[in-house]
């Protein structure tokens, strides 16, 4: 259980990160540049911080060593009173600074010890501490206006105390930067300025680069063979130009292949219908009426099958242009055709419903659904339901329905569900496949669902 929760949490985090990742080319370029700038600024901050630390140590240690050496030489001249100040701001004390006076600066202590040893300065102990400085502290007056101002700006006082054997403690106070916040905020301001200077041009360039790609994607989505289409103008970088040129060439090859396929299908249809027509004439010489009718039915079924196959193969390049039609009247006309053949089909009347579609193809799709409903479900109830965004054509039957796990299989060509449908029916399983292809070519979809009271609903959904 714990592992499942952990895995679920990880997958949720991955999905969240993917949502934050930009999907456009310009957005990804800008994000990568922003990450690179951030890393560069972080490295710059680390190097700058280390350089400031080294410079600060040099500015503190060199003068401090010189002052301590000078103060020691002054002590060699004669004794001084405790807490009396020497040259350079060094004072003599009998006791070291309080242990809790402030935090130690280990780098200063280590470097001071090395520098004093190299200078030949004899000492026993060395300690440091940092104390905050109040700009209004009257004790700052002892340093003079210039040094008092430095103490106030830097916010801290570094106290260095060196013990000389037999003499006491030499104590020196110097300004010390207590916080790196000014440097940090300066770096943030610098980074924001860099982002503004660099990222805005990057976004602009990225959008210019991706504009031809967006045009290419739109042309690929709307490409329909056979329709008059203007080639896309190659624009952008050379790589993008090459992709656009390759797409234009591919579109021409696809159109040429489909034209050749249409010519081939026309020839096949002509070559097959000619012998079927000859057979239809020849069977008239058969004297037995039963045999002659069976032969005629077989030839008619072969003609319908051939017509369905050719229609399904040519669906991607229909010759019929979209027109404004009354969908309710179209469905009503199909229902009337079935009524003329004495089929039990009803239609719920509704007001005019204007749609832009290919009427012959949509009529065929509706006819196929009603034909299935009459064949497998005894009777059909047809209705048209309109909404602001969608129109549904519902064909309901009273048949045995279809198993839930096979509802999508019936849309595959040459598929028949004999285990759930009447075994006496004919057909080769192209009716629903052709209806589905017609509806999807019109931008809609088709769905089958079992009715709670029994039977099946075949629903054509068309966008308005």
> 372 with 440, same domain?
yes
The two beta strands, 345-347 and 380-386, are parallel
Structural domain total, the chain? 3
| pLDDT recorded at residue 417 | 60
Residue 379 sits in the same domain as residue 459? yes
Whether 418 and 456 map to the same domain: the answer is yes
Q: State pLDDT tens for residues 145-159.
A: 565 555 556 567 788
Supply the pLDDT for residue 403.
79
Burial 276-288 (b: 16+ CB within 10 A, else e): eeeeeeebeeeee
Confidence of residue 14 (pLDDT cuts 50, 70, 90): very low
What pLDDT digit, counting tens, does each position of 187-246 carry? 788 888 888 888 788 878 877 888 888 888 888 888 876 666 678 888 888 888 888 889
163 closest CA partner among 196, 105, 134, 121: 121
Domain holding 243, by residue range, is 238-312
Overall size of the chain counted in residues: 464
CATH number for the domain harbouring residue 388: 3.30.565.10
Whole-model pTM above 0.75?
Answer: no
**156 and 95 together in one domain:** yes
Highest mean pLDDT among 139-143, 164-168, 238-242, 316-320: 238-242
Together in a domain, 442 and 373: yes
pLDDT, average across residues 111-123: 87
In a domain, 25, yes or no: no
Percent of the chain with pLDDT over 90: 5
Residue 395: which pLDDT band, with cuts at 50, 70 and 90?
very high
Q: Look at residue 73 and tell me if it is in a domain.
A: no
Q: Are residues 121 and 255 in the same domain?
A: no
Two structure tokens written together for 28: 């990804």
User: Does one domain contain both 141 and 87?
Assistant: yes
pLDDT digits (tens, 9 = 90+) for 49-97: 788 778 778 878 888 888 888 888 777 766 655 555 665 678 888 777 7
DSSP characters over 331-397 = HHHHHHHHHHTT--EEE------EEEE-HHHHHHHHHHHHHHHHHHHS-EEEEEEE-SSEEEEEEEE
């Amino acid at each position: 259980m714990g592992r499942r929760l952990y895995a679920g949490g990880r997958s949720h985090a991955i999905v969240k990160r993917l949502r934050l990742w930009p999907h456009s080319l310009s957005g990804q370029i800008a994000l990568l540049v922003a990450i690179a700038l951030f890393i560069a600024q972080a490295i710059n901050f680390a190097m700058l911080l280390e350089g400031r630390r080294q410079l600060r140590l040099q500015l503190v240690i060199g003068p401090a060593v010189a002052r301590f050496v000078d103060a020691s030489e002054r002590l060699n001249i004669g004794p001084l009173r405790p807490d009396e100040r020497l040259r350079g701001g060094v004072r003599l004390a009998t006791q070291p600074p309080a242990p809790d006076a402030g935090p130690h600066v280990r780098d200063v202590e280590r470097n001071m010890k090395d520098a004093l040893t190299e200078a030949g300065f004899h000492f026993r102990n060395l300690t440091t501490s940092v104390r905050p400085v109040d700009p209004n502290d009257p004790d700052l007056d002892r340093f003079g206006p210039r040094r008092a101002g430095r103490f106030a700006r830097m916010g801290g006082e570094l106290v260095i105390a060196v013990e000389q054997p037999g003499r006491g403690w030499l104590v020196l106070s110097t300004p010390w930067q207590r916080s790196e916040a000014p440097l940090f905020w300066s770096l943030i301001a610098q980074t924001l300025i860099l982002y503004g200077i660099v990222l805005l041009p990057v976004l602009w360039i990225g959008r210019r680069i991706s504009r031809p790609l967006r045009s290419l994607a739109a042309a690929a989505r709307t490409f329909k063979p056979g329709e008059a289409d203007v080639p896309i103008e190659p624009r952008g970088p050379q790589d993008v130009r090459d992709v656009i040129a390759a797409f234009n060439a591919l579109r021409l090859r696809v159109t040429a292949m489909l034209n050749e396929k249409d010519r081939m299908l026309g020839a096949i249809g002509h070559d097959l219908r000619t012998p079927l027509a000859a057979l239809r004439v020849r069977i008239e010489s058969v004297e037995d009426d039963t045999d002659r009718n069976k032969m005629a039915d077989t030839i008619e079924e072969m003609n319908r099958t051939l017509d369905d196959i050719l229609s399904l193969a040519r669906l991607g390049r229909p010759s019929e242009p979209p027109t404004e039609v009354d969908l309710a009247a179209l469905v009503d006309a199909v229902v009337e055709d079935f009524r003329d053949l004495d089929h039990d089909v009803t239609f719920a009347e509704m007001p005019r419903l204007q749609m832009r579609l290919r009427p012959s193809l949509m009529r065929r799709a509706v006819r196929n659904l009603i034909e299935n409903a009459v064949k497998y479900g005894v009777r059909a109830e047809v209705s048209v339901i309109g909404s602001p965004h969608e129109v549904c054509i519902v064909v309901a039957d009273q048949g045995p329905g279809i198993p839930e796990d096979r509802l999508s299989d019936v849309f595959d060509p040459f598929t028949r569900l004999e285990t759930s449908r009447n075994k006496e029916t004919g057909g080769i399983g192209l009716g629903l496949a052709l209806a589905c292809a017609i509806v999807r070519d019109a931008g809609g979809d088709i769905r089958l669902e079992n009715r709670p009271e029994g039977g099946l609903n075949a629903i054509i959904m068309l966008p308005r």
